[in-house]
Amino acid sequence: MKKRIFAVLAAAAIMLTGCGSAESGSSVSPAANDGYDVDLTQLSSSMVYGQVYDMVTNSDSYVGQKVKMKGSFSYYKDEQTGKEYFAVLIADATACCSQGIEFILKGDPVYPDDYPAIGTEITVTGSFAWYKEDYATYCQLLDAEIIPNDAPAEDTTKELSWN
Amino acid sequence: MSEQLSTLRYYLEFDFVRYAIIVGLLISLCASLLGVTLVLKRFSFIGDGLSHVAFGAIAVSSVLTFGLRAIGSEATGRLAEVLSENNHTVIVLPLTVLAAVLLLRTGQNTKIKGDAAVAMISVGSLAIGYLLMNRFPSSSNISGDVCSTLFGSTSILTLKGSDVVVCSVMAAIVIVTFVVFYNKIFAVTFDESFTRASGVNAGLYNLMIAIITAVIIVISMNLVGSLLISALIIFPSLSAMRILRSFRGVVICSAVISVFCAGVGIILSILYSTPVGSTIVAADIAVFLIFSFLSLFRKGR
């Protein structure tokens, strides 16, 4: 009987360990180096996926933070509204899902003259912001700057998911 | 090596990594506890069948969410938010439990028996689930949604604090139930007829095993996805059975192997950007091969 009680208490302890770590409502990222609040270029692709997901779902915690991220350049034009969207996309480890963040460059750049080719691997820095359209939350980097990388992205044909 | 350790230390500062490790270890512990019983009762494949039911249930819940949002009223919108915020558990858990009860409890009395019933429900749910996801997509990336549900993808790294609480409570219920009813589960596992003859309500305990199995399947989907759940249930038990003979020894060894492999798998996948579910299962396979090798020496003596 004592053994059973001990085992039940051990199980309860495991449960409390889990609950204790889950007290905070939203995730918080540790501070990155080089003056960036969130430096996604320092993380493995699995970590980047998790971090970008956190930025999308806990957008308020990141508003105004300086973000640096690396991924493939993507462009989309809404034919109905004529609005253009520019984003940097990161594929996850299984290569079937992509997380992306839209960016708006500083100044008045014109597409395609002031942008890299679609699929080019780029590094983007900017200030984090978000907005809502219908039921979806979209994240963006404002006052962004593009730093081109050497290597082109491997795959540019995947379906895109920005939220 | 020290560079990898410092990278790991840095990664552990992220809340979502800590959540993934806590949930991963709890899920693997629960799956291994029940795995021994399911393997011995010749229900190894039920994990696969029920996970496909859960996949179909997620699709049904997604369609329901889509429909509620399309109605556009404030009440339906709020209901849709509730469904999507808890990963559709409100719909998925009852449907999976129902399927588990039908398969494990009434399997002996129906015209379609055992493996045929599991196979029928498994492929049927998978087909209907994919059909619904395709016709009523919840996002623009259908292949991503399907892939994520089937293989777990990196969804273990996208858990929120509330997910950890739900998972911890479910895991605690499973562990406490297993510990409290250990003797009865042991009896039902090895000789159901004798258990019935000795006055124990074996049907009730079979029902309990069915419900616990369904709960484990639902909480495991975030970790390894619906296609790889069976591996979490089967491999640790089979590895332990290679070298141990007592039920208690196999259960304890299986739990240790499962937790170890889940921990190693999650850490490796984070460090080297490999798919979490596949990496955990690869670790389980490696341990199974090692234990199989060790069992050769045991027999030799």
Say whether residue B276 is in contact with chain A using an 8 A CB cutoff.
Answer: yes
Which of B:238-257 have CB within 8 Å of A? none
Give the chain A residue nearest B10 (alpha carbons). A30
Residue B63's pLDDT is what? 81
Tens of pLDDT, residue by residue over A116-147, are 888 888 899 999 998 887 667 788 899 999 88
Backbone angles phi, psi at A97, to 5 degrees: -120, 150
Q: What is the 3-state secondary structure (H, E, C) of chain A?
A: CHHHHHHHHHHHHHHHHHHHHCCCCCCCCCCCCCCCCEEHHHCCHHHHHHHHHHHHHCHHHHCCCEEEEEEEEEEEECCCCCCEEEEEEEECCCCCCEEEEEEEECCCCCCCCCCCCCCEEEEEEEEEEEEEECCEEEEEEEEEEEEEEEEECCCCCCCCCCC
- Select from A22, A58, A52, A19 the least CA-distant residue to A38: A52
Amino acid at B158: T
Note whether B275 contacts A93, CB cutoff 8 Å: yes
Question: How far is the alpha carbon of B207 from chain A, nearest alpha carbon, in Å?
Answer: 22
pLDDT at B109 over 70: no
Beta bridge partners of A147: A123
Tens of pLDDT, residue by residue over B173-187, are 888 998 898 888 888
Note whether A49 contacts B157, CB cutoff 8 Å: yes
Mean pLDDT of B285-289: 95
Residue A78's pLDDT is what? 84
Give the chain A residue nearest B171 (alpha carbons). A15
Residue B208's pLDDT is what? 86
Best A8, A19, A97, A102 member to test B by mutation, with max B CBs in 10 Å, is A97
Average pLDDT of the residues of chain B: 82
Residue B79's pLDDT is what? 77
Residue A89's pLDDT is what? 83
Note whether A93 contacts B172, CB cutoff 8 Å: no
Mean pLDDT of B130-142: 72
Residue B237's pLDDT is what? 92
Tokens of A158: 């995947």
User: Among A153-162, B32-41, B225-234, B277-286, which range has the highest average pLDDT?
Assistant: B277-286
> Which stretches of chain A drop beneath a pLDDT of 70?
1-34, 91-99, 134-135, 148-163
**Residue from the list B140, B165, B180 with its beta carbon closest to the beta carbon of A159:** B140
User: Among B74-88, B246-260, B287-301, which range has the highest average pLDDT?
Assistant: B246-260
**Chain B residues inside the 8 Å CB shell of A17:** 22, 168
**Domain spans, chain A:** 29-152
Placement of tokens 């091969």 in the chain = B289
Note whether A46 contacts B274, CB cutoff 8 Å: yes
Q: What percentage of chain B has pLDDT greater than the value 90?
A: 17
For residue B22, name the pLDDT band (cuts at 50, 70, 90): very high
Best A15, A19, A26 member to test B by mutation, with max B CBs in 10 Å, is A15
Note whether A24 contacts B161, CB cutoff 8 Å: yes
Residue B142's pLDDT is what? 61
Torsion from C-alpha of B40, B41, B47, B52, nearest 10 degrees: 150
For residue B148, name the pLDDT band (cuts at 50, 70, 90): low
Domain covering A29-152 in this structure, CATH number: 2.40.50
CATH of B2-291, one of 3.20.20.370, 1.25.40.340, 1.10.1040.50, 1.10.3470.10: 1.10.3470.10
Q: Are residues B207 and B101 in contact, defined by beta-carbon separation less than 8 angstroms?
A: yes
Q: What long-range pairs does A133-138 form, CB within 8 A, spacing at least 24?
A: A135/B69, A135/B77, A136/A163, A137/A56, A137/A57, A137/A59, A137/A163, A138/A102, A138/A162, A138/A163
Mean pLDDT of B79-103: 79
Q: What percentage of chain B has pLDDT greater than the value 70?
A: 86
Best A76, A89, A94 member to test B by mutation, with max B CBs in 10 Å, is A94
Instruction: Check residues B277 and B255 and name the one with the higher pLDDT.
Output: B255
Instruction: Check residues B272 and A7 and name the one with the higher pLDDT.
Output: B272
Note whether B175 contacts A160, CB cutoff 8 Å: no
Note whether B147 contacts A97, CB cutoff 8 Å: yes
Instruction: Check residues B28 and B58 and name the one with the higher pLDDT.
Output: B28
Cα A45 to its chain centre, rounded Å, is: 11
Give the chain B residue nearest A6 (alpha carbons). B179
- Residue B271 falls in which region: left (phi positive, over 0), alpha (psi -120 to 50) or beta: alpha
Residue B290's pLDDT is what? 95
Backbone angles phi, psi at A148, to 5 degrees: -65, 145
Mean pLDDT of B107-124: 73
Residues 6+ apart with CB under 8 A from B42: none
Residue B93's pLDDT is what? 86
Note whether A15 contacts B271, CB cutoff 8 Å: no
Residue B59's pLDDT is what? 83
Best A5, A14, A46, A92 member to test B by mutation, with max B CBs in 10 Å, is A46
Residue A17's pLDDT is what? 39
> How many C-beta atoms lie closer than 10 Å to residue A132's C-beta?
9
Question: How far is the alpha carbon of A110 from chain B, nearest alpha carbon, in Å?
Answer: 27
Q: Tell me the C-alpha distance between B234 and B224, whole Å.
A: 14
pLDDT at B82 over 50: yes
Residue B107's pLDDT is what? 52
**Domain spans, chain B:** 2-291
- Select from B157, B21, B81 the least CA-distant residue to A52: B157
Say whether residue B164 is in contact with chain A using an 8 A CB cutoff.
Answer: yes
